[in-house]
Amino acid sequence: MSPRSASVNEELRRRSRERLLQAAVELVDEHGFEATTLTDIADRAGSARGLVSYYFPGKRQLVQSAVHRLMHRTLEEALEREPRTEDGRERLARAVDAILGLAHDRPVLMRQHMAGLLQAEGFVQCPEQRRLSELLSDTVARYGSADVTADYPMLRATLMGAVFAALMPGAPMPVPALRAELFERYRLDWELGTPPGSDTDPAAARGRDLSRFFATGERAERTAPGKPAE
């Protein structure tokens, strides 16, 4: 039997990593961060326990990467859904609704993510986080920003603050009120985007199945020539 080619090995590694990311998101969403072990994640992914450590230095880094994957794929889906548009205001409204929608639909997961960002290791720089950054930066640019390098971090901070406010234990703010505040801040018309939890919210219609965000089959990645796949 001839050895596998480098490209086949790379594809197998990519699929293994994505299965681990999906398993991490599912288990933390179901049971919380503390109750989820790396062994649980490996078992759910159908992988050896040692493979988790091969890809990720620890559980918190794995979970943060997994949530960033969920966030950037959710955002990507919202931005590219039909009818597709290049209108910057509509795209910003979709971005706001996509991130608030995650706080609305997956409070346990997003609360754990926000808590993880406040730990000593802080923000994990990973392919998933970089893709999220690219999508939000592009959204800010299309919205008409004259200084994306300044306006993107402000949008990121504003969205993170809104998610934190929505998930504050004991004193959560209603997502519609946070949406109204963000739409006023960016001068977005109320009818733009898709309000989280509404009858027209595509994410709500799909239920809790996350597999589309962690595809292990062939997928045309939106990457520039020469850019490594995620």
Give the domain extent around 146: 59-195
Give the span between the Cα atoms of 115 and 167, in whole angstroms: 11
The answer to the question of residue 206 being in a domain is: no
Q: Which residue has the higher pLDDT, 3 or 197?
A: 197
For residues 121-143, give the mean pLDDT: 90
pLDDT for position 194: 93
Phi and psi at residue 189, to the nearest 5°: -70, 145
- Place 84 in a pLDDT band, splitting at 50, 70 and 90: very high
What is the tally of structural domains in the chain? 1
Whether 124 is in a domain gets the answer yes
Q: Find all residues with CB under 8 Å of 208, minimum gap 6, and list them.
A: 29
Q: Residue 112 maps to which CATH number?
A: 1.10.357.10
- Judge whether 14 lies within some domain: no
Query: Does residue 37 fall inside a structural domain?
Result: no
Q: Is 84 domain-assigned?
A: yes
Task: Note whether residue 136 is domain-resident.
Answer: yes
Q: Is residue 213 part of a domain?
A: no
pLDDT top residue among 172 and 222: 172
In a domain, 224, yes or no: no
Give the C-alpha separation, 200 to 190, whole Å.
14
